[in-house]
Chains A and B, each alone.
Chain A
Amino acid sequence: MRPGPETAPSPAGDPRLQALLRDLGDQVRPGGGPRFTTPPLATGIPSLDQLLGGGLPAGRLSEVGGPASSGRTSLGLSLLARTTLRGEFAAWVDWADAFDPASAEAAGVDLGRVLWIRPDGIETALRCADQVLRAGGFALVGLDLAKANEATPRIPASTWPRLRKHAAATGAAVVALTASTLLGSAADLGLEFGTAQPRFGEGPDWLEGLDTRVALVRNRAGRGSGQAPVSFRTIRAA
């Protein structure tokens, strides 16, 4: 009779191991190394954070779209404020050249923790985002692609996977503000702002704020739809 192939005795059946596992109880978990997950980036808007299950995903691409005067930029500034007040750094790639420091400061943004980049063209803007993500250390990288009075830019399809790869490596939340859907299926999360209703005060007439609704149009990680009411107030009204 030919001897069979030699096999190592299975340790699972060892009574000593069984006893050790019994003693250690919950302290022993399946292998594969510890799994660290970066918490989502809260927007600071309770209704929206509830819809998103905590906030925008870190290490992922998110698209915030909508028409002009719908509240996209206010959401962007709210994200910047949350990030910087936590002591983290953020980068704002401002292709639209629309970032207003006074408005950002009023929104609570710690301007010293924001790297403001104003590229000339869309290709440069994407290269800048790429560079910032590769440098690492930024919790939020905002891309303002909602240029007023300009057609939706053409962006090579290979751009978004590359940005996503860098975002995943550094744990940065990449948020693109767009006028119309630009990332599409490349985004891990998509938010669409509806047409906003401005609120004007009575008496001394002033603009008090905007009321709008945000729809969750895409979410790779969880629930794929839903809406949340959102209000923003002007500095004077606040």
Chain B
Amino acid sequence: MLVPGLSLAAALRAHPEWQGQPIAIMTGSGPRAEVLAVSPEALEHGVRLGQTAVHARAACAELLLAPNDPALERAAREALRDAALSTSPRVETAPPETGAYVAEAALFVDARGVEALFRSETGFASALADRARRLGLPAVVAVAGSRGVARIAARLAWQRNEGLCVIAPGEDAAFLAPLPLDLVNPSDALADGLGRFGLHRVGDLLRLPEKALTTRFGERIRPLLALARGTQQAPPPPVPENTRFEEATDLEFAAAQIEPLLFVLRSLLERLAERLACRGFAWGDLVLELGLEDGSRDVRRVGMAAPHLDLRVSLRLLDLALQAQPPRAPVERVTVHTTGTEVRGDQLDFFRPSGPPPAALSRTLAELGALCGEGRVGAPAVADDHRPEAYAVRDFVTEQKPHKGPPQQTTVTTTPRSLAIRALRPPVPAQVRAPHGTPETVFSALARGDVVRCAGPWRTTGHWWNEEERYAYDHFDVQTSDGWVIRLRRDWIGRHWAIDGVYD
């Protein structure tokens, strides 16, 4: 699987509006930057690799010059790998080439047994090319008996403007024989030497004995021979599953407002969505990294209540995260990464209700978080703390445990009807008269009057080892003459009384 000019393909993947225009990818943005890759339209105008920006512009006045973005290139490489991994678990990145093929990116994909899925090797190759195209990469796919032959076949298919090349089993040598030696990419010195001996085709090389060739050209001829004979037949090793997906871009002009940033984010998320869909994953937690103009970085994590497939939800969540806390300086670079998670169906259990739809829930949680503030939306939890006012808030997730059979109704009906207490946050200060240790009258903003009945005290102490956090309370359950039933507490450290709960 081969993409001949990865830097150009990566730029066009990020800017599809550039398709059909004369474009040159430059090594940098300064006047001394050289042309690294050119589009066919630019090539027609006479723009060549290695030219400076001035020379290239002189050849083509409408030429669009774009500096090479390593982040885009890396993401494109990963996207190509995603397309490959969507068809086979054994994928290997081809070593980088030199010379005329330095700009190409290639992957070797194990094609054994694919007939069961794609009916034929041609079907497999076209599926692979189609998936890469959907990810914005114009890949050429060749199927052959060895890696080297497959790579050469892919180069040839590209030169002939064909998307696919499938070599029948055992036909590798016959396929290679009439091809020019340039396709095997010998070094310049070796190509000169072979030319002087009148060897111009791969078949010429294969006809000669190996010993004679090594005597004349040395050990450097061996890799070329191995390639031509198709000896690299070991399948690529299985790839450990990588579920991290990242897209990044450098902004041409630093964005100080959220709106232009969202425009960029949408484009990044669209590309991520394509890659996730290709691998059959749903959106997991998002991490947004912003490179700021002042040199610092702003990293935010946006949690997902449940995996979902809706791009708009992810964009809305990032929008809310940015609105809640805008970046402190203009943004120069944006990176978004997410963890691909298994797609969850809405209906999880035959006997239980499915709960909130994952996409709607994620969006709702983010909007509620923006409305209420951090730490004020989630699932309540009992804190690991003896203080009566302690509580915890966890992430609200709707993942359900596997459940066998219908829910047991009996457990519901036998639950005792428990008297609830309403927490007062913060506790309401009270003036309490307690001449004999137990409250007799209470005066506060809530309850005021004589104590009708009183139970307690129950003493709670803790954190005595920490001067600032230690506490010692005596709690009383008190009924006052004005009808309140309250939980009154005497703070032995602060030396005051307060109501920290109301029975209701």
Contact = CB atoms under 8 A, between A and B. Distances in A.
A104 B368 contact: no
Nearest to A193: B504
Contacts of B418: 74, 77-78, 103, 106-108, 232-235, 238
A21 interface: no
B54 interface: no
A135 B415 contact: no
Nearest to B411: A85
Contacts of A98: 422-425, 502
A100 B423 contact: yes
B353 A88 contact: yes
Given A115-B396, A124-B371, A207-B485, A198 B479 contact: yes
A74 B503 CA distance: 9
B455 A89 contact: no
Contacts of A148: 422, 424, 428, 446, 502
A161 interface: no
Interface string A80-98: 0110011111001000111
A113 B419 CA distance: 20
Nearest to B426: A97
B174 interface: no
Contacts of A195: 483
B238 interface: no
Interface string A108-145: 10011111111110001001100110111111000000
Contacts of A124: 371-372
Interface stretch (B93-101, B244-252, B374-382): B374-382
A86 B377 contact: no
A112 B380 CA distance: 7
Contacts of B479: 198, 200
Nearest to B391: A101
A183 interface: no
Contacts of A137: 353-357, 360-361, 398
A178 interface: no
A124 B382 CA distance: 25
Interface residues of B, number: 68
Given A100-B391, A116-B378, A137-B356, A68 B371 contact: no
A81 B368 CA distance: 23
Interface residues of A, number: 75
Most buried by A among B360, B377, B418: B418
Interface of B: 349, 351-357, 360-361, 363-365, 367-368, 371-373, 376-383, 388, 391-394, 396-398, 400, 403, 407, 411-413, 415-425, 428, 445-446, 453-456, 477, 479, 483-486, 501-504
A127 B371 contact: yes
Contacts of A102: 382, 388, 391
A210 B485 contact: yes
Interface of A: 44-45, 67-74, 76-78, 81-82, 85-89, 92, 96-108, 111-120, 124, 127-128, 131-132, 134-139, 146, 148-149, 195-196, 198, 200-201, 205-207, 209-210, 230-235, 238
Given A117-B372, A198-B485, A74 B455 contact: no
Contacts of A139: 353
B380 A114 contact: yes
A209 B354 CA distance: 36
Contact of B357 (A112, A118, A136): A136
A115 B503 contact: no
B421 A103 contact: yes
B368 A206 contact: no
B416 A233 contact: yes
Nearest to A100: B423
Given A103-B420, A108-B415, A232-B420, A196 B372 contact: no
Contacts of B428: 148-149
A86 B412 contact: yes
Contacts of B411: 85
A45 B415 CA distance: 10
A196 B483 CA distance: 8
